[in-house]
Structure 1
């Protein structure tokens, strides 16, 4: 199996938790496939983009530079499937091959959890709350800065969450 050392998307290095690169063989063509587990933030960033400029450095020193199509794989861990057609597969002879009739595909999710991924890059989501509070608390909330409230609520929620999960 060919190992990947680094991956850049559109010139920007990304953190890859696990990966597999292989040749997919169908009756009509060969494609170079790259499956990567990345953070939820990375998936969100590239979700609506159809083609990416990929720079893949392999562990043996070879480099693959290609425009690849993107598929977001749903369910399970956050991952991208990137692929491009190959005309000449001779330089990829040592890559694993998957045939369209095979039931085997590389399982890159094994041995990693969403919690491990979020330790590296935690997604931040905006949330709106509707609360009924006494007027003095409402007045106090209105004079607070957004950053202060964000920090305060994060600490408050983590404290309660830790107590409930202990």
Structure 2
């Protein structure tokens, strides 16, 4: 099976944790397909995108450049499927061909956890918290810059989390 070395979307290199590239055969139709485990950040970037210009470098130095459709695969791990219809099977004879009736199908999730992905790219989300605090603490909080408050809260929560989840 061909191995993917790197992937770029619209010129931007993305981190791929595992992938499978193959040609899917369904009746007379041929589809180049790239299934990938990526970070939640990458999934969020392409959520509203239908197509990307994909630059796929294989480990044997072959390059595949194509405008490909993007499909987000739901599940525990952040997963994308890029695909494009093909005209000529001979142009891709170096890839595995998977038939719709085959029992074999690439399993790219094996051995990967969401924790391992988040160690490489941790997504951040905004949250609003309503608190009832003494006025002096409220005044102090209002005097702080947002970036500093983010740092303080992250640090405090991680310390609390480590202390109470290490048992």
Structure-1-length-normalised TM-score: 0.95
How many correspondences in the alignment?
166
Q: Which residue of 1 aligns with 2:92?
A: 92
Equivalent position SS for 2:77: coil
CA distance in 2, matches of 1:129, 1:138: 13
CA distance in 1, matches of 2:120, 2:83: 26
1:101, CA displacement in angstroms? Answer: 2.8
Equivalent position SS for 1:48: coil
Q: Which residue of 1 aligns with 2:29?
A: 29
Q: Which residue of 2 aligns with 1:3?
A: 3
Where in structure 1 are there 5+ consecutive unaligned residues? Answer: none
Q: Tell me how large the CA RMSD over aligned residues is.
A: 1.1
Where in structure 2 are there 5+ consecutive unaligned residues? Answer: none
CA distance in 2, matches of 1:102, 1:76: 25
CA distance in 2, matches of 1:92, 1:51: 21
Task: Indicate the larger mover: 43-52 or 133-142.
Answer: 133-142
CA distance in 2, matches of 1:28, 1:93: 16
